[in-house]
Structure 1
Amino acid sequence: MPDLQAPPRALRPAARIPVRFGGAGGGVGELSWGQREIWLTMLRQRSWLPIGGWSRLAPGTTLSDVAGELRWIMGRYEPMRTRLRFGPGGRVLQSVADRGTIGLDVYDCPDADDPEAFVVALDARDRARPYDFVEEWPVRMGVVRHRGTPTHLSTVMTHLVTDGLGGRLFLAEVAGRRAAPLPPVAGTQPLEQARWQAGPAGQRQNASALRHWERTVKLLPPARPPSAVDGPRFYRGELRSRVLPPALHVLSERADADSSQVLMTLLAQAATEAGGGPAVLRPMVSNRFRRGFETVVAMVAQRGICAADVAGVPFAEALRRVGAAAMAAYKYAYVDPDATAALFAEAGADPDAGLWFNDRRVATRQGFAGPLPTVDELRAAPPGAFRWTVAQDDPFDPLSVDVDDAPGGFLLTVFTDAGRLARGGAEALVRRAEALAVHEAIGLVESEDR
């Protein structure tokens, strides 16, 4: 593991290469619903939510090569050329340029230093630096040279550019262009999305979605001020679980159910045990099943909402109820975020209520490899290891769980507001979901073996 500290003096660019670009599409318009939702999240969390990362450059890569790649991505993807404008009353607009110049920063890592540690520090610095939505392009790219040779690259973008699936499409296309020319960019771009959303078809979709949201909002508790806490209010923790993937393998295959639905059911049951009443779920929905969104590099993911009464029912019935509720959440997550916010305000309902859920898995999202685990294997796997990683005063999302594939298992990242649910309660939630998964999987395998 490289040293994460680099000399501050070395984090000043040795040069900035101006990179001119041009691309199809341009203009000024409203934010799309996906952009609007992530913008509201940025305001709530007081963060520009940087995404991206660093990588090693292939041997022989030149500064000209990197500048060419930056020119290519700026020209190909409209969101990379999108900045914000603020209209009357604070209304936020997107401004897409069809040409411009962006700077490629070049950093010289001291000869005696580790260039990997240097690029890690550079990446962290670029994420921490304030971002100007009006003047800056959404991409910060820096090349690290070591002893005169480009060795590493840091690319940091604002989350307004794209969601997670769009980011993976972007990386695949950047890598693929080196092998063969790519077809023209596909998918409905954000400016075009916003025009459709403001038109008759978009307003019909919005009205239909709002009827679903209104029914669910009526089930929510009233908004209340958080309890006073000593120290920071917002925490992030991690549960690393080796037993959850094999248990989920059993449950999803035997029930012939989507594994994300199984995870939501486990968390819903755990939340219901802790609080009672219907479980309100707020899943992150990719919206990429909609026409024109399949391959677009843009921010189209939005939060859905649904409720399922799973108290005191067998797991199979809870799975059925959550599945039906989740289907409605997926269908109606494509909605104007300003309109849903107005629903909460009119009802006096808690806008942060429920369990927020984001299944970000890639390797196991569509299924598990290998044979089903045995009862002995399920019993032998130890419970996951939990640790708190961040405490801060700036808000995270409300009580939420993100799920990722990780070496040897799953990583469940839990966020909580201690003024609403103390750290002990948040840790107990994910531990209870893990324990329920193992219990139900063992019971299912044993019943089939009889």
Structure 2
Amino acid sequence: MTTRQLLEIPFSSGRSGAGPATWGQRAIWDAVSRLPAADAPRYNIGTAAPIDPGLPLPVVLGGLEQLLHLHDSLHTRLLPDGAGGLRQVVDPDGRLAVEVRTCPGSTGPGSTGVAEAGARLHEELSARPFDTAEQWPLRVGVVEADGLARYVSLVLSHTAVDGSGMNRLVADLTALCLGSSPADLAELREPARQPLEEAAFQDSERGRKRDAGARKQFLRKLRLGPARLFPPPAPPAPDAPAAPFPNAVLRSPALPAAVERVAAAHRVSSSSVLLAATAAMTARLSGTPEAVLNVVVNNRFLPELTNAVSVVAGDGLFHLPDATAEFGDVVRRTHAAAIGSYRHAYYDKLRLSTEIERLAAEGVPLADRSCVFNDTRELVPAAPEPDGGPRQETTLSWPVEFEPRPGLTYALDALQSPEALSLAMTADPAVLPRPAMERFLYGIEELILTEAHTIGADHSGPEPQA
């Protein structure tokens, strides 16, 4: 029988202060605050993994305490200022709760009991929203067995960290638990801005110029694309409740190798391959020759943000004419267009929204921004799959339904999972019913596998199998 206890890590003498929220903090806080409470946990950023061969629990707790000293975002709260703004408050002290589950009679970190207990614990920690005004944005769970910590779960509010920041967080915690000191870690990398420092930069002359330039580029592209991609849905019946948005997940063991092969052949990033296939299927299913996608960007082009454990949120507007052309050509043009979108995705989203509203009120034609693409691979470490091993065939599942999201046609996430690449799609069923969602996801897979097959097998491995 698994037992549970709640421990607390005392934290004191940390950095403190208060100031305006960063653009990233504000953008995510705004997005989450508009969601129903049951939907908000989807924005949590989490990872879980076994600790092999295991560590004494005090070592893990000590590493977590040092982690709080390294990264201010972990002990920062966000509070509305009463005038429509948002402030961040960095607490100098407090306590971090750690939930510990103990599995008796275990045979080690890879035992079924540890893996199942860890998966359950991670699911529980991930399923709750954060109160960012009252709580620190970090939850920790540990599974203990045979006297050692065997499994760890980290769940953070997205207002505190993005995928790149989560990678740095995991790397730092691992190093601290293995004996490195915060000073050692500081010597190994470029200094990173803390959130209050980032907010100060954004309010500086250089930050304001960067914001203005990025918003100018976004608005320029916004005038180029079609006002609508997909045909408008039929009006709902009077008093009919809004239909929930289905979520489909395609899990493809063949895609990881195929994506890398196509990327290498065309000298582009693997993310550009997935973005190109998404753009192509958007154009094919919508019946338009071009695609406009709102691309979620973890923007780390500024050196001071490369190693930051924070949220650097931005949306890049990606516009691709002739998206139904030969797929290799689409891949190459996608890469070139995407780089420009990424570089101009660091801006004040609140100011941009105000400008878009003004243009819309003036009757200026603006592009459809209802299709969203987010490549999270290699950003958030994948949790081990609890089913005991990868399946060899592509599968499509419908795990959940979400509350309707006004203004969204679809949101497509590329997800990292062991031995496979997963595509998770949530869509408005009035625009993309379930059969269309299936065609969309299988179409992405087919485009990439066909291109990889055409390129031919290289010398590093077998041909990807559909």
Stretches (4+) displaced over 6 A? 110-113, 222-226, 349-352
Output the amino acid matched with 1:421.
Answer: L
Compute the displacement of 1:414 (Å). Answer: 1.6
Contact 2:277–2:448 at 8 Å: present in 1 too? yes
Structure 1 residue 350: deviation in Å?
Answer: 8.1
Q: Which residue of 2 aligns with 1:198?
A: 203
Cα offset, 1:300, TM superposition? 1.4
Deviates more, 1:181-190 or 1:198-207: 181-190
Q: What 5-or-longer segments of structure 2 have no aligned partner?
A: 107-111, 380-391, 458-466
* Bigger Cα displacement from structure 2, 252-261 vs 166-175: 252-261
How many angstroms does 1:183 deviate by? 3.1
Secondary structure at 1:239 match in 2: strand
The size of the alignment, in residue pairs, is: 418
| C-alpha distance after superposition, 1:12-70 (max 9, x if no partner) | x4x5435133323x211111112222222212434152223444456674443333222
| Among candidates 419, 427, 442, match of residue 438 of structure 2 | 427
Report how far residue 168 of structure 1 moved. Answer: 1.2
In the alignment, which residue of structure 2 is the partner of 1:163? 162
SS of residue in 2 equivalent to 1:196: helix
Partner AA of 1:101 in structure 2? R
Q: Once the two structures are superposed, what CA deviation does each residue of 1:85-111 show, in whole Å capped at 9, x if it has no partner? A: 221234221111233333344455688
Structure 1 residue 83 corresponds to structure 2 residue 88: no
One-letter amino acid of the counterpart of residue 222, structure 2: V
Listed as ranges, the matches of 1:338-349 within 5 Å are: 338-348=350-360
* Mapped partners of 1:70, 1:140: distance in 2: 11
One-letter amino acid of the counterpart of residue 170, structure 2? L
Q: Deviations over 1:222-246 (max 9, x none)?
A: 7989954878522221112244344
What letter is aligned with 1:79? Answer: S
**Distance in 1, Cα, partners of 2:439 & 2:420:** 19
Say whether 1:175 aligns with 2:165.
no
Shift in alpha-carbon separation, 1:311–1:299, aligned structure 2, 3 A = closer
Provide the aligned C-alpha RMSD in A. Answer: 3.4
TM norm structure 1: 0.81
SS in 1 for 2:11: strand
> Residue 23 in 1 paired to residue 19 in 2?
no
Q: Which amino acid aligns with 1:138?
A: P
Q: Encode CA deviations 1:352-384: one digit per residue, 9 max, x unaligned.
A: 734322223339xxxxxxxxxxxxxxxxxx983
Q: Aligned partners of 1:61 and 1:251: how far apart in 2?
A: 41
Provide the residue aligned with 2:394 in structure 1: 384
Corresponding residue for 2:109?
none
CA contact (8 A) 1:21 1:74 kept: no
* Counterpart AA for 1:426: M
Cα distance, 1:167 vs. partner? 1.0
Change (3 A) 1:437 1:204: same
Deviation of the 1:197 alpha carbon: 1.0
CA change 1:208–1:119 in 2 (3 A) is same
Give 3-state SS (helix, strand or coil) of 2:296's partner. Answer: strand
* Partner AA of 1:135 in structure 2: E
Task: Give the Cα separation in 2 of the matches to 1:433 and 1:190.
Answer: 37
**Residue 213 of structure 1: aligned partner:** 218
Q: How do residues 407-426 of structure 1 correspond to structure 2 at under 5 angstroms? A: 407-426=418-437
CA distance in 1, matches of 2:431, 2:347: 27
Is this contact kept in 2: 1:272–1:311, CA < 8 A? yes
Q: How does 1:105-144 map to 2 (within 5 A)?
A: 105-107=99-101, 114-144=113-143
Query: Closer, same or farther in 2 for the Cα pair 1:138/1:407, shift >3 Å?
Result: closer
Q: Percent identity?
A: 27
Partner of residue 289 from structure 1, selected from 301, 307, 312 = 301
Deviates more, 1:169-178 or 1:342-351: 342-351
1:220 touches 1:353 (CA, 8 Å); kept in 2? no
Question: 2:42 matched to 1:37?
Answer: no
The answer to whether the 8 Å contact 1:240/1:411 transfers is yes
- How does 1:300-311 map onto structure 2 within 5 Å? 300-311=312-323
Determine the C-alpha separation between the residues in 1 that align with 2:96 and 2:412: 37
CA offsets 1:253-307 (integer angstroms, 9 cap, x no match)? 3322222222222221111111114200222222212120111111114221121
CA distance in structure 1 between the partners assigned to 2:416 and 2:426 by the alignment: 18
Q: Which moved more, 1:232-241 or 1:205-214?
A: 232-241
Which residue does 2:460 correspond to in 1? none
Does 2:385 align with 1:361?
no
Distance 1:352 1:98, change over 3 A: farther
Q: 1:303 to 1:290 in 2, by over 3 A?
A: same
Residue 327 of structure 1 deviates from its aligned partner by 2.1
- Structure 2 counterpart of 1:411, one-letter code: S
Name the SS for the 1:183 alignment partner: helix
1:161-213 C-alpha deviation (Å, 9 max, x unpaired): 21112111111121122243323383111111111112211111111111111
Which whole-Å CA distance do the structure 2 matches of 1:436 and 1:63 have between them?
Answer: 48
